Structure 1
Amino acid sequence: MAALLLGGCGSGTGSPAASPGPGTATTGAVTPGAPVITIKDFEYGAPLTVAPGTIVTVTNMDSAGHTVTADQGQAFDVDVRGSGGTATFTAPSAPGSYPYFCTYHPNMRGTLIVK
C-alpha cells in the first residue's frame, strides 16, 4: 500500500519546463552562499528571510519529490526531485510575506519573507 501511495508523490515525465525567469525554477548545483530551503521529513523548516531578487536554493532530502509553490500568483514554483535534488528560484522583487506549499503534499506549508 505504501508503494502505491508514494508512486504519485514524485515528479514524473510531464510537460517540459518553461524558460527560467524571475521567480521560476532552474535545476542545478547549490549556489555557494545562497539562502537555502531544505526539505526534510516532509517539512520546509523555519521561515526564510531574503532580500528582493535573491537567488534561493531548494534542497530536497526526502525520497519523494516536492514543490515550493507560492500561494499567490506565480511568484515562484519549484519542482524538486527527491534524494538530494536541488533547484533555484529568484525571490520576488516586491517586499512581503510569501506563503508557499507543496503541490504533491498540500499539508506542507512554509513562508518566504522578502525585505
Structure 2
Amino acid sequence: MPRPPRHRPRGPGPVRLAVAVSAVFLAALTGCSGGNGGTAPSRSHTPTTAGPGAASPAGARITIKDFTFKPAALTVRPGARVTVVNQDSVTHDVTATGPKAFRSGSIGPGRTVTFTAPAQPGRYRYICTIHPYMKGSLTVR
C-alpha cells in the first residue's frame, strides 16, 4: 500500500514564531536602541563607554535615575569631559536639541558614557530622544 504524501506546514513553526515575537517585544521594551539613530557624532564629541562599576574620569557628571537627569542643569568649562551614568533599567541618551553640539549615543542600563562638552560657551538644552519628556541643560562658560 503506498504511503500518503508528507505535508509540511507552511510558515514558521510555533517555536520560531514565539522567538520572533519575543525578539520584537524585547526590542520595543528596551527602547529599540540598537545604536545612535544612524547619525554618528562628530569626531570631537565621540562618546566612550564603560561597563557597570567603571571609574568615572575627572570632570562633570550627569546621573540618569527615575527617568530624570540629575542635576537637571550643569555648568562646565569649554571642552570638559562629561560623564553620564544610567542608573535606570532602560536605555537612555543625552542629545543636544538646539545646535547639535553633542550626542551621547545609546546608554544601556548600568552603563556609563563620556562625551566632550562644546568648546563654544553658551547654554545647551538636551533631551533623551528615546524619552523626550526627559530634559536638562548644559551651560558652558
Count of aligned positions: 113
Corresponding residue to 2:99 among 62, 73, 83: 73
State the Cα RMSD in Å: 2.6
Gaps of 5+ in 2: 1-24
Q: Which runs of structure 2 are paired with 1:1-115 in the superposition (5 Å)?
A: 7-9=29-31, 11-12=33-34, 18=40, 21-28=43-50, 29-46=54-71, 47-115=73-141
> Which is worse superposed, 31-40 or 87-96?
31-40
Question: 1:34 Cα deviation (Å)?
Answer: 2.0
Q: C-alpha deviations, 1:37-86, integer Å up to 9, x for none?
A: 10000000231110000011010000110010001232001124333111
Greater share of helix residues, 1 or 2? Answer: 2
| Identical positions, percent | 46
Cα deviation digits, residues 1-35 of structure 1 (max 9, x gap) = xx779615252267777476223322234433221
**Closer/same/farther in 2, CA of residues 80 and 38 from structure 1, 3 Å limit:** farther
Q: Taking structure 1 as reference, are residues 104 and 37 closer, same or farther at Cα in structure 2, changes over 3 Å only?
A: same
Give me the whole-angstrom Cα distance separating, in 2, the residues matched to 1:56 and 1:14: 18
State the distance in 1 between where 2:84 and 2:126 align.
13
Bigger RCO of structures 1 and 2 (CA < 8 A, at least 6 apart): 1
TM-score, normalised by the number of residues in structure 1 = 0.82
Runs of 4+ in 1 over 3 A off after TM superposition: 3-6, 13-20, 29-32
Counterpart Cα distance in 1 of 2:68 and 2:41: 28
1:66 maps to a residue whose letter is H
Choose between structure 1 and 2: higher strand proportion: 1
Distance 2:119 2:104 in 1: 17
TM-score calculated relative to the size of structure 2: 0.68
Amino acid at match of 1:73: P
